[in-house]
Structure 1
Amino acid sequence: MDHSALSPLLTHLAALRRRALGLTIFSALALGLAAGLMSVLLWVLLEALFFLSPPWRTGLGILALLSTGGVLAFALKRHLPVLLSQHRFALFVERRCPPLQQRLISALELSGTDPSLHSPALLAAASERATALLRTTDPSQILDRRPLYAYLRLLGGAVAIALLCGALFGDDLAQAAQRCAHPLTAYERPPRTLITVQPGDLEVIKGDDATLQVHFAGDKPRRARIERRPSAEAPYQTEELVVDRADSVAYTFPQVQRSFHYAIAVGDDRSPEYEVRVIDPPAVKRLRLHYQYPAYSQLPDRIEEEGGDIQGLPGTRVALEIAANKPLSKATLVLDDTLSIAARLDGATARVAFQIERTGAYHIALVDRKGATNRDPIRYAIQVREDQKPVVAIVDPGRDSDLPESLKVLLKAEASDDFSVEEIALVYRVNNDSEQRRALPITPQREVLISHIWDLSAANLLPEDRIYYHLEALDNNQVAGPQKGQSRQYVLRFPSLYELYSEADQAQQEQLSSLDELAAEGQAHQEYIERVRRELLKSEELSWEQKKELESTLTAEAERARAVEELAAELEKTIDSMQDEGTGSEELLDKLDHIRELMGDIATPEMQQALADLQKAASDPDPRVLAEALKRFNEDQQAFQQRLDRTIALLEQVRTEQQLRAIVEQAAELARRQSQINRELADGQSGLRQQLQEGSLQRDTERLAEQLQDLSDSTAEQNPALSEQLAHRAEDIERKALAERMRQMVRQMRAKSPGAAQQSGQALAADLDALAEDLQRMQDEYLAAEKDQLSRELRRAMRDLVQLSQRQESLFADARAQDQFALMQGTSHVVERIAAVGERTLALAPDLRATVGYALREMHDAAQRLGQRDVQGARHFQRKAMRYLNETVLLLRESLDNLAKAQTPSAFAEAMQQLLGLSEQQSQLNQASEQAMGQMPGSSLQQQIARLSAQQQGLMQALDEIARSLRGHRGAQQRVQAIQDEMRDVLADLQRGRLTQRTRQNQERIYQRMLDASRSIHSRGFDEKRRSITATDQPYVGPTALPADRGQTPDLWREALRQALAGPYPEEYRALLRRYYDQIYQDLQVREAP
């Protein structure tokens, strides 16, 4: 048979069969996979649902495998037999391709038979026709792919179901699949709820919160339990956790302080036990501060180990050493939450330094090696203590005041600073002129005491000029620059003599008025008491009203005595003021001081005792006792009244002399002021100051004319001649039109006519000089006339007393009572004249009045004895009366000598000069004592002490002479008395052969007291003037700081030298002071040398 036609058919049929076989196998595999996936899913689902035992799990697994294999075998068995048989496949093709019409099957069957049995051509034709039909037929028409697609869809559905179950029950199915993968392994049945805790074990910083995230799988619970215990051995503490069927919930252990174990339990499920481990955060365990203060503060370095607050000056460098509780990886100093300064680390120690400039705060940020930071670090304060300004206060004079006569002002001030006062300057200006500065010498220290004599004599001051001054103190601040402190500003006013004398005259006038009132009141009381005494003698009883009125009168008398004492104190103030301001001569001040002593003696102890006895007798029922007390009191009250009258008369006399002296000195001052203005005009100065001064001069000239007229009026009755002269001088001022010419000179200066102003000034100066000379001459004539008149009165009294003494002597032979009474009457007339002189002068000897009084008393007793014819008894009293008369004559001679010396200054100034000379001798003696203290004990030292004792004894005697010459000068007497007391102690030590440090200190005090006592003769006006003012709030000007010496022993010698040089001593004694103290220091250095 020709196989050429049959071969293509077979080839095409074989290809078609291979394709059909592949399609069948793929379809079977898809079906098998779908069945296997569903079987396994069912198996896993059953395992997840029922947690099967290994036999069931294994059986279901085998069943699932068998099911899958059966489905696959069934699918293959159904289609593979057709594909494996060519004949059966050809029949399959014939059925699927009807156009073949048995040609394919016929060709295949005939090809295997004997060719003789069929037609080859027919077979070939059938084969070709079948091949052609197969080639033109679509394979998909023969091979059906729909089963494959259906199986693939089934497989996809199975996969989708598996994925859905995995999504819904992923964890359960995964665990079930795990168990199914090991079907023979026995597993414990898992809980219904699966708990997962994140992060499980954890570390937290002590005090922080520990937060957990708890996940729930399976049966979602409504509540869970938190089981907690501090250690693995301790029992659990349970706390409920609300879940409310959530998949997860967060839980926080707040502010964990200690480590603990915990677990989460739900129903039959319980998580593993986890541990929360607490670690301590880094913290500052100790802080050490090292202060390095600015150099200017001179403060030593300081270390603080308690606390962390910083206090210091600006510019202070603070080094911090930070000790932490664990090793650190980083430490930072944070200033005011802005500036960070990294610290140097050394394990658990950090060091950092910075400089403080302003107040603020800081904290320390720490990081340990695990990255933990210190929580809420402590904020420490930085308190910058600002360098305070120096405080300076003027304590003397410490108020607005007038310039003293010497134009030297003693300034005492205190300055302090928290570190050091470097400089103090006196800043002042005259009126509205520019300020001037004068540096005061000081030793820089924290507290400075200043005593400086400010000499304004070279300032060319004129009356009514004002000096505005204050002190400025600078400290030693070298960081921000020196700071300045300023005292309160005060004013020194240069008063005119008119003002000074007006104040003194007004004070005296007030005192005189008060004394006049007291005298008038005393006269009325005296008359009333005498009237009461007489009525008492008549009626022998006083009514209740009379007793009350008497008590009131006695109370008034006691008040009157106290008022006189107060006036004496006020007069003492007036004397001090006049001495400070230089408005009284030494003689005039002496008189006022004697008058003050008289006022103090007006209310005698006898009168005060009589008043007390009278007050006591007023309550006595015996009228005779009261009458006797009234008599004694009336006698003492008469003496009181006489002393008061004499004091008033003396005050009036002294006031007249003071007013006359004031007029003379004011005229001289007017001339001096005019000359000074003329000199300034000649220097080209014709500004506002000169105009104001000339205007002030014009007003004072008008006041001088008024004073002359007032004094003329007041002396018209007392001294008509003086009154007439004063009136003529007042008329001369008006006639020469001095005030008008001064106004004209002011107008010329304003009109810028210096030549005309100078010409007017020169003429005015000449007239004022002439006026001053004329007034001075008038004063001298008045004082000489007063002295001459008083001398004549005293001489007359002396002659009369001599005659009376002779007559008293003659009565020894002819003793008649009437002659003795006549002699006593004559003596009384002399006493009255002496009393009249005593009202005009203080030159009378102190014992004069008492002595002549004793003479009168003895004459009276002698007359009584003669009246009783007791001649022998009378002669005794006559002899005593004659002796007292002779003593009175001698006292009158002494009074005449005192009056003759009254024209020259009193002995006070001379005594002060002598005392100043003694101070130099005491200084030399002190130096010798200092040298003797350095000698070794022995006979030589005792000889030296003996010589020192003799020298000190000589100074003591000289001091006694000075003390006797100062009688009547109470203030000076008290100072000399204090020196005598000190000198007696020193002399006692030296006479015992002892020379100790105490002796040396006493000698130094003697020397200092001598200088102080002699100060008043060289410079007045240094003592503070006492004034009475209404109480007001005053700023505190006392010390403001601790002592600068910090309790160290002061250098007494240097302090004594400083005080001595600051004192108002004459220039001739300053060199002496310096030599004296220099010698002391040299001796001390020699003694301390090794």
Structure 2
Amino acid sequence: MGGFVNRVRFVYLASSLALAIGYLGRFLLTVFVVVSLTIVLLYLINPDVSAVLAIVLLSIGLIVASLIYEVIMYIFSLRRGEVWSQVEREAGVPEGRIRGAYEVCLQVSSAGVYSHPFVARAAERANSSLKYVFPLSKPFDRRHMFLSLIAGAFVMLFVLFPSMISSTGGKVVSAYENLFLPQRAIFTIEPEGALLHRGDDLEVSVLLNKGSGFTPYIEVDRGLGEVERFGLKYGGKEKYTIKIEKIMEDTLYRGVLGNAKSGWYKARVVREPSLEYIRCEITEPAYAGTSPMVRKSMEGEIFCLSGSRLDIEADIGGDVEDVYIMHGESHIELKRDISGMWRGSVVLTNSGQFSLVARDILKKDNMLETAKITITPDNPPSIKLVSPKGRTDVATDLILTMSYSASDDYGISTIGVEYIVETTGDGGRFSLIGGGGNTQISGDVSFDLNRVDPLPGDTVLVRLYALDNDTVAGPKVSYSETVEVRIPDIVQFFRSVDGERDYLSMEEVLEEGEAISEMLTEIAQGMEERGEIDYESYSKMEEVIEREKNLRKRAEEILKGIDEMRQMGEEGYLSEETLYKLSKAQEMLEELIDEQTKRLLEEMQKIMEELPEEEVARAMREILENQEELNRRLDTMLKFLENVKVEMLLDSLKERLRRTIEEQKDITEGIKRAETERDIEFQSEQQEKVKRQYEEFLK
């Protein structure tokens, strides 16, 4: 009997468990449908690949669980029937008799009708096994089953579903997180802010507490109006990492874990050092009879005597920590004053390459400018500039002629010129003539300033240099005085070489046209009085034709000047409105040249060669009318061009004013620095420069 009860107990316990699994599977399937529909709606609103992948994984898991449940239920249903049949066969009773007796025994025991010891013991044993055999048959057990199903639902929501989504690479559905995931995750982001060079990669690490259930990710704001999202890779020991490649601008980033978010951290891009302004001067000792030119650039080659001092003043932008001059293995540091300028001096004893280097706050060296400095021996040649001196204007052809005299015991090998464009700081040197080894030479040299590409209104600093023939100690160099050469402004470029004739002047053309009209009137009156064309009339007509040709030629010169000015204006020297008016003037003048003057010349030639005398008077009246019409149009053209010239002068004045303001700003800053340093000599120099610039502007 005991074996029988144990078998029955085992079979029904297994069957009950299988049935419970079936109920749980059906419940999970219902929850899955609801969750899936919710995620699909979220996906339609905000597509997320991770949501679709989570649905696929969950569907596969539930399908497999349902199949397993069906197989278990089928096996245990067969097994339960086989056990009852086997028990009844072993007892030798008809099929169904023991099962029915067992159920009756249970009923009798529960009712307490019989008190027979055997029946009581059997009923007690059956009753004690009742809760294990049929756990789903009582109302109390159904409540337990319902609570078990609720517990299973919570397990599915907070363990199964998040784990599946985490396995998709750390991306989760934010709506699901915010709804269900408690803010219990603790995570740390490293680094909390970073300094990078432009183009560097930023590696971010996230440290988690154990059991968070979600994989973190990083949100990145590059300042473009939208936030990028990056999944992190697990690196072991609760550490996740991500590399954000090529940070070009300041970037914000933060960590996100479920619905928990960190604050924004900033990755700042270090601003590279840049040279805004530099002033270089070679002093102590200077060459005899010369004054060194102040350079606005270190670039190029600098000649000086041993023991000379290179003074540098520089304004350097960016995140700069140190500035120094590098010469070979030597490093000479520059100091920053209270005005923010970097200053320093170097005593030059050796030739070689000198570099201005700025070190940023990440200890990276940035080479800003490089100069080749050549130390020349003592006793250099002597060279003097006879003319021009001080300040001078150059003609529109930009050819500067200089008179000089030079001497040296070893003989002069080369006479050349060194220049610096004051507005840009660009400089260089050109060899002009050979000295032929003569110990004394003098004469004139010409320097074509077109080679330095100046802008209209620029100032170019020019000085001559002389090299001697010392082949033992090496060639020595000496410099002349410095000359300030003013480049003509844009209007002056269109005046003739002698400075008297204006290419855009229509006055003499109009005067010539009026003179032609007077001659034609005089010829017409003479013909009417005499009634014929005599020799005097023919002579005057020939003179009129010649003067008309000259008028046409002068108009063509003006047209050429307008075209050249328009082309130069297109390079940015004139405003768009002035350029438009120049184009209109060009069209009007082309029409006058091609139509009016050409027709007049043809009509005059026709009178001289073809027309009979009786038609000459009528033709002369027509020519006179056409000439007067030409004069009226020339007068209109004159007024139009005068207005254009005024606007061009205003454009030129604006450009000069802009440059003057920039120069005044630099000079004012220099004066402030001088006041700070109590450098009276430097302050006087700057004030003198202000006065000179003001006088030049008023010219």
Instruction: Give TM-score scaled by structure 1 length.
Output: 0.20
Structure holding more strand per residue:
2
Please identify the structure whose Cα radius of gyration is greater: 1
